[in-house]
Amino acid sequence: MALARATDPYSDPSWSGWGDPANVPELPEEVLSLLGHALGVSRPGRRPGPISAVTLPASRLPAPVRTMLETAIGVANVVDRDEARVRHTRGKSTPDLLRVRAGDFGAAPDLVVLPGSHQQVLEALRICSQHRIAVVPFGGGTSVVGGLQPRSEPFAGVIALDPRRLNGLLGLDEVSQVATLEVGLRGPQAESLLGSRGFTTGHYPQSFEYATIGGYAATRSSGQASAGYGRFDDLVVGLRVATPVGELSIGGRAPKSAAGPDLRQLILGSEGTLGVITAVSLQIRPLPETRVYEGWRFDSFATGASALRTLAQDGRRPTVLRCSDEAETALNLARPAEIGAEGAGGGCLAIVGWEGSAEDVDMRGRGATRMLEALGRGPEPEAGESWARDRYRGPYLRDALLDAGALVETLETVTFWSLLPALYAAVSGALRDSLIAQGTPPVILCHISHVYASGASRYFTVGCAQLKDPVEQWRRAKAAASDAILAAGGSITHHHGVGRDHRDWYERELGPTAVEALRAVKTELDPAGVLNPGILIP
């Protein structure tokens, strides 16, 4: 029995863009002119028509299997309407959206299944495994690495398993500050349930408005306040998982244990390939009394990175800590609502934020400010407040730029501090060389978005004119960048996940022995191979 359930509406995001279509900005003439003169954007991109105009082939799922699923989960919760299938097709990467805009719905599931309990998930997986039906766990649909496009050819059909009805706060230990949440809760829903009891997860990724608790765990999500709260996998105390061969109940007995390997790590980041997470127990925090966000300016990206490293290593780490390079600062991309505006301020803009009790924020802030003043200029409260207000708008700007005919996409990586400068140069160079060779010189922007004592992530944004086949255009550029990441000593992903897009480079990063071990686990937990086939596991 849940302590409480989400009651706010579970509205579907745009089927051909990021989230609420009403939030897509109208680009000012200055930006459109900049696209033309700087990037050679000369014609608008392909825009989607109404979803009602999309027709899909009939579901190929065998009728007896559908009947079994209806019996297990309820007729109303097994859906084959075209609109539902379209909305559960692929994720939100730029290639995903470009394919949808081009009318390519070859990855559409045959059915959308909405289980309402852990037992119903178990039963659905048993049925699908027995009858060779591929299962795609589909939470918020925010994957940007092809994580929702399984291999379908060897199977008798594909279902999207949508956990939105698993939306309860199952338990709350206020003394230990541990909460157990069902996985269909979106970020705002989870925060509302916890906030009413005085707590927060502290996890606010850019996908916060639509991503789910289950998606956070399955992809090792990292939020924008990771410097203070940690990554999502740092917060996970226990997991309940449904697999085709039975239930896994992992962790949750104690905060730390030396009882063998930590099997939570098999599931965290497994992207639905080893099981379907149905509940997550999390370390939570009291709601902060005070939130303060400031902007600081540095003369160069190298100086800004040095300041972030110092804060990460000397114990005065803020809750939010990120720094944009010169190009990203000049375009005001750190503040998407002001892109292209005059008066960006020059140099490199860092956002520094503190959350907690008023006393703690004051104490940490004073110590960090002395160091920041020695290296940079600030504080700029307006810049920090602007970032906090607009931090979820970036993907909507991408939709507007796609409409205008630009190709815009992101990628990220992580490495040690000592390797960051070389990795920055290598990835930027690989992207630039690939896109120039294709006749579309790019603008390449970067920021440091997550920091640790030993290293940090780099997050790149790339923009150029679209070619006739923009999906292939980006595939070539992304492959060049991925090769450069591994050659420079970085990881193929920090928080976006592996999915289908990174799988080949993940295999190279992992090595053959580890790949075989991962495949052996997959065979044990999913003997028919129906769980998100073709994703993650080489």
Give 60-102 as a DSSP string.
-S-HHHHHHHHHHH-GGGEE--HHHHHHTSS-SSHHHHHHHHT
pLDDT one-digit tens code per residue, 206-217: 999 999 999 999
Residues 310, 261 within the same domain: no
- State whether 193 and 215 are in the same domain: yes
Q: What is the pLDDT of residue 344?
A: 53
Both 322 and 363 in a single domain?
Answer: yes
Q: Is residue 41 part of a domain?
A: no
What is the structure's pLDDT at 470?
97
The verdict on 281 and 299 lying in the same domain is no
Phi-psi region of 342 (alpha: psi -120 to 50; beta: other; left: phi over 0): beta
Domain membership flag for residue 56: no
- Asked if 183 and 279 sit in the same domain, the reply is yes
What sign does the CA torsion over 493, 45, 339, 36 have? positive
**What's the CATH code of the domain at 301?**
3.30.70.3450
One domain, residues 181 and 235: yes
Whose tokens are 């309820």? That residue is: 74
CATH number at residue 179: 3.30.465.10
- Residue stretches of the chain with pLDDT short of 70: 333-345
266 and 179 fall within a common domain: yes
pLDDT at 326: 95
- Chain centroid to CA 179: 22
Domain that holds residue 277: 170-286
Residue 234 lies in a domain: yes
Q: What pLDDT is recorded for position 345?
A: 63
Q: Is the domain of 228 the same as that of 279?
A: yes
Same domain, yes or no, for 274 and 315? no
Q: Is residue 428 part of a domain?
A: no
Q: Are residues 267 and 302 in the same domain?
A: no
Q: Is residue 151 part of a domain?
A: no
Confidence (pTM): 0.95
Token reading at 216: 């956070």
Examine residue 219 and state whether it is found in any structural domain, yes or no.
yes
pLDDT given for residue 343 in this prediction: 46
pLDDT at position 9 is 81
pLDDT digits (tens, 9 = 90+) for 496-534: 999 999 999 999 999 999 999 999 999 999 999 999 999
What local confidence, expressed as pLDDT, does residue 34 receive? 85
Last residue of a domain, one of 286, 317, 338: 286
Cβ pair 181, 213 in contact under 8 A: yes
Judge whether 75 lies within some domain. no
Beta bridge partners of 63: none
- 211 and 282 part of one domain: yes
Residue 222 in domain: yes
CA distance 386 to 234: 28
Q: Which of 339, 361, 390 is the last residue of a domain?
A: 390
Domain end call among 235, 257, 286: 286
Q: Quote the pLDDT of residue 252.
A: 83
Q: Do 317 and 358 lie in a common domain?
A: yes
| Counted domains in the chain | 2
Query: What is the edge-to-edge ordering of all strands in the sheet holding 377-380?
Result: 377-380, 290-298, 348-356, 320-324, 443-451, 455-465, 406-416
